[in-house]
Amino acid sequence: EVQLVESGGGLVQPGGSLRLSCAASGFTFSGFWMSWVRQAPGKGLEFVANIKPDGSERFYLDSVRGRFTISRDNAKNSLYLQISNPRAEDTAVYYCARIVVVVTELFDYWGQGTLVTVSS
């Protein structure tokens, strides 16, 4: 059974830093693109970042590029999101998701999410 479990959320001050983790199990983690998607309070889903299976390619939402870093450790079946210099508008539930590429690209499994609150 595919499982994705996020952790590391919490309260962070503007200008601070936080690292989110996503523990994957039930599939060959090293064979899949992975992604972070967020949902701010009262808002919809928003793509944040994704990363190629070997970590050699990464894509970011324009508003987080240069502040957020997505990474992975295939030996530990783990995905990470380093959040630096956060802003109030980064307050959201952050989900990790597995991406399957079959002609198109689909996010077929998601975690339950971890809440990040940016506030002083």
The encoded tokens of residue 92 equal: 């959201």
Report, in Å, the least distance between residue 95 CB and other proteins: 7
Interaction site with other proteins (CB under 8 A):
4, 35, 37, 44-47, 50, 59, 61-62, 95, 97, 102-113
For residue 120, the tally of other CB atoms under 10 A from its CB is: 9
Residue whose CB is less far from other proteins, 16 or 108: 108
Supply 55's token pair. 């970590």
Q: Which is nearer to other proteins, 18 or 64 (CB)?
A: 64
> Cβ of residue 16: shortest distance to other proteins, in angstroms?
27
CA gap 69, 60 in Å, rounded: 9
- Minimum CB distance to other proteins smaller for 27 or for 47: 47
- Burial class of 22 by CB neighbour count within 10 A (0 to 12, 13 to 18, 19+): buried
Q: What is the C-alpha separation between 103 and 117, in angstroms, rounded?
A: 37
CB closer to other proteins, 23 vs 45: 45
Minimum CB separation of residue 85 from other proteins in Å reads 21
